[in-house]
Amino acid sequence: MKQEAATISIIIPLYNAERTIERCLGSVTRQTYSNLEIILVDDGSTDRSPDICDRYAEKDTRIRVAHQPNAGVGAARNAGMSVMHGDYLFFLGADDYIFPETIATLYAEARSTESGITIGNARVSTGNDRFSEVPSFSYQSVTAEKQAIPQVRYELFYDPGYGVPVWNKLYRSGFLKRYAITFERLPTLSEDRLFNTQCFIRHPVIQLVNRYTYVYCAEASTIMRSKIQAPIEKSLRVVKSMQDSFESIQGLSEFEDLLAWLVFGLINQVARNFTIHHDHAFKEIRDFLVAYKQNETVSRCLRAMASGKYLEGIARPSWVRYARYLSRMLNRGAYTAAASLLFLRFKIEARRRRIE
């Protein structure tokens, strides 16, 4: 069999994934593109996951397993990156799976376009053999010129946000190494967003592939099923990390819209989590808003959002109205009203999902 020119590393971090890891690994070992380096990072699992990984490694020489004490998904991915040898890198969640042609499809596009990041489209599994499909991409390539367009940035990093998760992306390893791009050392929120933002500010060519190459299993996601611990600390940590990354390239003014959207997005992310997992969600949301708003960067970003500064050029009027309205309430110190809005929004959303 002819050996493909490039080695592609697939990094799979896992924690207590005994229910899904075999499905995930089966989808990887059946890839039509065979020149793979498959790195499993067991992040301190206490179930049968480590044994399953070791058994697969014995059967397939392309698979390597690293076992480490629990340190979080970012640390697990960093551990995999530190030992990889591939020309390209693909992250895969242990709860998810890919199609047989996924790697071949993304690699062919990356090679022909010389892109730094190649992104496929995704299906979302909601359980009981039900799937939803992410809308098709409206363009094929995100060049440096397009990266300056507000609507493009919004689609990448907010809605539908296909630039946020690290899964379903083929990264050129040389690009990541050139800029020493890794995940946060300490557990935080929005780790994927921060990683990809560090890529984005270096203006790589981003190629979009309008084929479904990934299945994200929302019903099995450990992130979706877990309470956020220490939300204030983690939220402010990622805000500071993103601001620091912009300042390190003297690019704060160029990218502050991304910082503002992160600040606003974290409010919604934490409020949704509280609504799903906390018995006293309304109080938890309000307390979070009070503490979060005290941060100088958060306050500055919310003032900008309230003024509409970073909302011009976004072709989604309902979101623009919502973002300005909620930001204005927080700027006025109307924390009870803001908490009520968030609580009701995500309570209705959760109820609708249960009905569906």
Is 3 a residue whose pLDDT tops 70? Answer: no
Is 345 a residue whose pLDDT tops 80? Answer: yes
Q: Check residue 1 and give its pLDDT.
A: 43
Concatenated DSSP letters of 96-158: -EE-TTHHHHHHHHHHHHT-SEEEEEEEEEEETTEEEEPPPPS-SEE-TTGGG-HHHHHHHHT
Concatenated DSSP letters of 19-82: TTHHHHHHHHHT-S---EEEEEEEES--SSHHHHHHHHHHH-TTEEEEEE----HHHHHHHHHH
Q: Enter the pTM of the model.
A: 0.92
CA–CA separation, 131 vs 139, rounded Å?
A: 24
Place of tokens 């499909």: 133
The CATH H-level superfamily of 8-217 is Spore Coat Polysaccharide Biosynthesis Protein SpsA; Chain A (3.90.550.10)
Listed in sequence order, the residues at least 6 apart from 1 whose beta carbon sits closer than 8 Å to its beta carbon are 34
**Torsion over CA: 69, 167, 278, 259 (sign):** positive
CA–CA separation, 91 vs 81, rounded Å?
A: 10
Dump pLDDT digits (tens) for 38-66. Answer: 999 999 999 999 999 999 999 999 999 99
**Confidence bin at 279 (pLDDT 50/70/90):** confident
Per domain, the residue ranges of the chain are 8-217, 231-355
Q: Check residue 220 and give its pLDDT.
A: 60
Contact 24, 40 (CB under 8 A): no
Q: Which two tokens stand for residue 202?
A: 């270096």
Dump pLDDT digits (tens) for 173-215. Answer: 999 999 999 999 887 889 999 999 999 999 999 999 999 999 9
Q: Check residue 180 and give its pLDDT.
A: 96
